Amino acid sequence: MRLSAYFMPTLKETPAEAEIVSHRLMLRAGMVRQASAGIYSWLPLGLRVLKKIERIVREEQDRAGAQEVLMPTIQSADLWRQSGRYDAYGPEMLRIADRHGRDMLYGPTNEELITEIFRTSVKSYRELPRMLYHIQWKFRDEVRPRFGVMRGREFLMKDNYSFDLDYEGAKKSYNKMFVSYLRTFARLGLQAVPMAADTGPIGGDLSHEFIILADTGESEVFCHRDFLDFDVLGAEVDYEADLEPVVQAWTRLYARTDDKHDPAVFEREVPADKRVQRRGIEVGHIFYFGTKYSEPLKAQVATPGGESVAVHMGSYGIGVSRLVGAVIEASHDKDGIIWPEAVAPFKVGLINLKIAAPDCNKAGEEIYAKLQEAGVEVLYDDRDERPGAKFAGMDLIGLPWQLVIGPRGLDKGVVELKRRAGGEREELSLEAALARLTG
């Protein structure tokens, strides 16, 4: 993509309404525009990141055996009346009436609808287990939408729902999602810590929030350093095998949020040199809720013995749009965003310092063409602009690599390659630079 033709309305000034760094940087980099409170339009640069996150989330859901569906954003109130949540949900639910006066709502979540789909389609234990997910916009009329896309009113969520015959089966599904979440966040380039969360009236221990570490996070995190050193992606996962030992190994290590934190327990269980106390952002939540919805909505299957029982369910959410902001909170510096390679909108920013000079122009066009041929996503700053503005702009949007072509380098037969994350710069031949970026 040529920057001269790219729709990326960056801002020079820091927007006054943005309280936190990710919101400021997303507005300044031209990733999103606020449409109304807590509701955003996604512009090309931001949408590329959102799509990349969505793709990784989807791949890891599929890998764990979940199947993708797509349910609507607008739902009928009837099912919610049956589950008892139409009144219980309160003012966070956006309620609408259609032209016939029928009560509708913009879905804040989908337990009722997926349970209804299941109820009318599955009748026997032979068709279990099942995991069905979708990636869809939700609406929650949050009291205080803030922090940009991190606490929006309209936001993109991946929500998965599992159906099993009994608790043992549900636990297996839960464990699959637990491991799948660890893999998902690791692939996004994030350090995620699973934290035991409240199970409410359901009880038991099958509820975890996944918190990624970021100094500006809303939650306080206490954990064992081994959490952070564990190489999730290095460990081969077989989703057909018994995952209980993997999950146990993780949950045995201490990890609590502030509301569950007991300093005495932390000090007793974790050696001093292994204690980590940080802040974090909730990006995912998994929990088992048994027959909470299958009972009232009558989602029953026949057991091998022929009796009819309500299925055991779990639900598993990931805040896809929140993650865009959360990644920035976890990875930025004073100059701008530092994208992990997996979610970067482009891999390389190609900076041409002197577009007007014929040799620079020729070299720029050549490199741009070669990178594209090799399938490398590249944003080419081919504008006639001051070098200072080009460098600052590239640092702001945070692409992992910057490749700089200038008249002085070209005379020596070299270009400059800068890694955004550490700031290291290296002069090397054009061929070597290309080999590095395409390798």
Question: Which residue, 316, 318, 315, 337, is CA-closest to 328?
Answer: 337
Smallest separation, CB 369 to ligand ATP (Å): 40
Smallest separation, CB 337 to ligand ATP (Å): 19
Element (H, E) at 434: helix 430-438
What residues contact 42, with CB distance under 8 A and at least 6 apart?
Answer: 31, 32, 50
Paired residues of 381 in beta bridges: 351
Please state, in angstroms and rounded to a whole number, the distance separating the CA atoms of residues 28 and 18: 10
* Shorter beta-carbon distance to ligand ATP: residue 160 or 402: 160
Smallest separation, CB 320 to ligand ATP (Å): 8
**At which residue do the structure tokens 């945070």 appear?**
398
Q: Which long-range contacts (CB under 8 A, 24 or more apart) does 39-42 make?
A: 39/152, 39/153, 39/154, 40/148, 40/149, 40/152, 40/154, 40/321
* Shorter beta-carbon distance to ligand ATP: residue 326 or 404: 326
Smallest separation, CB 282 to ligand ATP (Å): 5
Smallest separation, CB 420 to ligand ATP (Å): 26
* Shorter beta-carbon distance to ligand ATP: residue 155 or 293: 155
CA distances from 166 to 122, 162, 289, 378 (A): 15, 11, 12, 50
Please check whether residue 228 is in contact with residue 192, taking contact to mean a CB–CB distance below 8 angstroms: no
User: Token pair of 51, please?
Assistant: 């799509």
Smallest separation, CB 131 to ligand ATP (Å): 16
* Shorter beta-carbon distance to ligand ATP: residue 125 or 147: 147
Helices (H) then strands (E): counts for the chain: 14, 23
Paired residues of 151 in beta bridges: 146
103 lies in the site for ligand ATP, by CB under 6 A: no
User: Token pair of 392, please?
Assistant: 């600052």
Smallest separation, CB 125 to ligand ATP (Å): 29
Count of chain residues binding ligand ATP (CB under 6 A): 15
Among positions 127-156, residues that touch ligand ATP (CB under 6 A) are: 140, 142, 151-152, 155
Among positions 289-318, residues that touch ligand ATP (CB under 6 A) are: 317
Amino acid identity, position 378: V
CA distances from 93 to 89, 111, 146, 156 (A): 6, 14, 18, 16
Q: Where in 248-295 does DSSP place strands (E)?
A: 255-257, 275-290
Smallest separation, CB 210 to ligand ATP (Å): 7
Among positions 183-212, residues that touch ligand ATP (CB under 6 A) are: none
Please check whether residue 109 is in contact with residue 133, taking contact to mean a CB–CB distance below 8 angstroms: no
Q: Name the phi and psi angles at 42, rounded to 5.
A: -100, 125
**What is residue 62's DSSP assignment?**
H
* Shorter beta-carbon distance to ligand ATP: residue 164 or 209: 209
Smallest separation, CB 434 to ligand ATP (Å): 39
* Shorter beta-carbon distance to ligand ATP: residue 317 or 336: 317
Determine if the peptide bond prior to 129 is cis (ω within 30°): yes
Smallest separation, CB 424 to ligand ATP (Å): 34
* Shorter beta-carbon distance to ligand ATP: residue 314 or 319: 319
* Shorter beta-carbon distance to ligand ATP: residue 325 or 336: 325
Please check whether residue 153 is in contact with residue 37, taking contact to mean a CB–CB distance below 8 angstroms: yes
Among positions 153-172, residues that touch ligand ATP (CB under 6 A) are: 155, 157
**For ligand ATP, what does the binding mask look like between residues 314 and 353, x meaning CB under 6 A?**
---x-x-xx-------------------------------
Smallest separation, CB 157 to ligand ATP (Å): 5
* Shorter beta-carbon distance to ligand ATP: residue 281 or 310: 281
Amino acid identity, position 231: D
Please check whether residue 157 is in contact with residue 172, taking contact to mean a CB–CB distance below 8 angstroms: no
* Shorter beta-carbon distance to ligand ATP: residue 165 or 281: 281
Among positions 255-284, residues that touch ligand ATP (CB under 6 A) are: 282-284
* Shorter beta-carbon distance to ligand ATP: residue 75 or 321: 321
Q: Which of 23, 134, 183, 285 binds ligand ATP (CB under 6 A)?
A: 285
* Shorter beta-carbon distance to ligand ATP: residue 95 or 146: 146
Helices (H), 331-400: 358-373, 387-397
Residue nearest ligand ATP, Cβ-based? 319
Give the binding site for ligand ATP (CB under 6 A). 109, 140, 142, 151-152, 155, 157, 282-285, 317, 319, 321-322
